[in-house]
Amino acid sequence: MWRRLSVGAAPAKSRLYVVLAAVLLTRCATLIHNEFEEVPVTSTPTGADVALDCGRGPNRLGITPITVVLRRGDTNCSVTVAKSGFVEARVDFHRLLSSAALADVAAGAIAAGIAASTNIDFSAQNGTTSGGTVNVSASGSGSISPAAAGGVVFGVTALVDAASGAIYAHSPKRVDVVLRPKP
């Protein structure tokens, strides 16, 4: 009597690690960076007042040099730099897709790869006392297509990262203002 069990592409322990990695990757951009983004602000001359407005009214944050913190999900942010005797300067931020959003695509590709490589082959042979032999064999692939698995994981990761704002970044990455004297 003999039995053989072979599992497609990877042993069970390795497959568990791959599945665990795929689950952890469902928050790809969020893992790479969080929902907040730091932007350094400097001015010439230094010591200028800095206010940040992201659509909820301006908030005075301090004086230059300073690092302001933006929510990645905010769409209409601007920073105002002002100093007595100088013309006030305003810099608008533009929200863009972050390069970390590519991690969402990678998570979908990993999930598609797992679904594509999953197959299980079973083979068994069992002799009986009368000398007969029973052979059982089966093979097949997972019940979900690789495209569907990749699409589901990509969709979930993109939604989670968009909701947290982690999928976005702001431009410019730093603000350096040269204040002009008032006439």
For the chain, the first-to-last Cα distance in angstroms comes to 99
- Identify which has the larger pLDDT, 123 or 116: 116
69 falls in which pLDDT band (50, 70, 90)? very high
Which is nearest to 164 in space by CA: 58, 29, 21?
29
Answer yes or no: is 130 within a domain. yes
Question: In which domain, by residue range, is 83 found?
Answer: 2-177
- Identify which has the larger pLDDT, 7 or 146: 146
Q: Does the pLDDT of residue 54 top 70, yes or no?
A: yes
The pLDDT assigned to 5 comes to 41
In the Cβ-directed half-sphere of 106, how many Cα atoms lie within 13 Å?
Answer: 12
Answer yes or no: is 152 within a domain. yes
Answer yes or no: is 183 within a domain. no
Q: Does the pLDDT of residue 62 top 90, yes or no?
A: yes
The pLDDT assigned to 6 comes to 42
Answer yes or no: is 182 within a domain. no
Q: Does the pLDDT of residue 25 top 90, yes or no?
A: no
1 falls in which pLDDT band (50, 70, 90)? very low
pTM for the whole structure: 0.61
Split into its structural domains, the chain has a count of 1
- Per the CB < 8 A criterion, the answer to whether 42 and 137 are in contact is no
The pLDDT assigned to 26 comes to 52
- Identify which has the larger pLDDT, 55 or 26: 55
Residue 116: C-alpha distances to residues 16, 57, 107 (Å): 16, 51, 14
The least confident of 6-10, 25-29, 112-116 is 6-10
Q: Does the pLDDT of residue 153 top 50, yes or no?
A: yes
Answer yes or no: is 31 within a domain. yes
